[in-house]
Amino acid sequence: MKASLTLCLVASSLAVHTAATEPSSGNTILSAFLPHDIPSIPLGCLTLPHELPQPSGLSIPSDLPIPIALPVATHFPSPSGHPEPTGFHRQARRQLFGITENDVTTNTGCQPLTFIFARGTGELGNMGTVVGPPVASALSSLTGGKVTIQGVNYDASIVGDATAGADGGPTMAKYVTQALQQCPNTKVVLGGYSEGAMVVHNAANSLSEGQVAAAVLFGDPFKMFGVGKLSASQVKEFCALGDPVCENGFNILAHVSYGTDANTAAQFLVQAAGISSS
């Protein structure tokens, strides 16, 4: 039996479908490897384009691939929109975070740490699913729930790729300013995945020194550039082996693997911000 590997998207999760043809019958068999007890609806297969359109006014290598973050529609609890309880009860409630988080824009109260995250192209909500919620959960665990979480409300589209994240940069910078105005003693840290990493670059370039304590970037097309006024010790880049976006590799699965780096990223942010772990 001969088999070919195709990357496909289903409604509940990212799945690798193996298309196999049985020589004796000629029948084609599709088998999907999915987490147990998660219903799924096939939505089709995706191919990563080869070139990033050259954005005007920026000196960027023209052979960079378009960073596409495949949306993984795994369910996470949605935020209530009400101020979170403090102490143990807050920690217990905020171990899992949703695809949309708006603690800064709804002013849910001050915490020692504020995490502002920009999702990748095509991801759902304002946090996405691949990296944002796992990092938020890891930060909550490390700080005993004493963290404010805000996703960047921007289009996260192919058009945004072509403009190198210029659409989301001002919005992220605005959230940083708003967070510090509401809570002057909070430490603001940033995160971005794929196109969202470009958003971080854009936001950081417009912010003053000292406004941001640290940043973590995943699958960053601009990893060869600095991040605003942050020093190298304040930035941690995650670029998986074979990632076609940040490494010009050929393994599309590498680009959607960054959820496994959530704990490492969270530990870096907490340490860089000088926040005590619980």
Exactly one of 194, 201, 220, 257 is catalytic; which is it?
Answer: 194
Element (H, E) at 151: strand 147-151
In angstroms, rounded to a whole number, what is the distance separating the alpha carbons of residues 103 and 79?
9
Active site residue 4: no
CB 20 within 8 Å of CB 2 = yes
Active site residue 255: yes
Active site residue 261: no
Exactly one of 103, 161, 167, 243 is catalytic; which is it?
Answer: 243
DSSP state of 85: P
Beta strand 14-21 with 2-10 is antiparallel
* Cα–Cα nearest to 176, from 108, 116, 107: 116
Exactly one of 140, 255, 257, 261 is catalytic; which is it?
Answer: 255
**Angle between helical axes of 262-273 and 132-143 (0-180°, round to 10):** 50
DSSP string covering 42-101, please? Answer: EEEE----S-----TT----TTPPP----------PPP-SSPPPPHHHHHHHTSS--S--
CB 128 within 8 Å of CB 120 = yes
**Angle between helical axes of 169-182 and 195-206 (0-180°, round to 10):** 60
Max alpha carbon distance in the chain (Å)?
Answer: 71
Sign (positive/negative) of CA torsion 235, 69, 108, 171? positive
Residues taking part in catalysis: 194, 243, 255
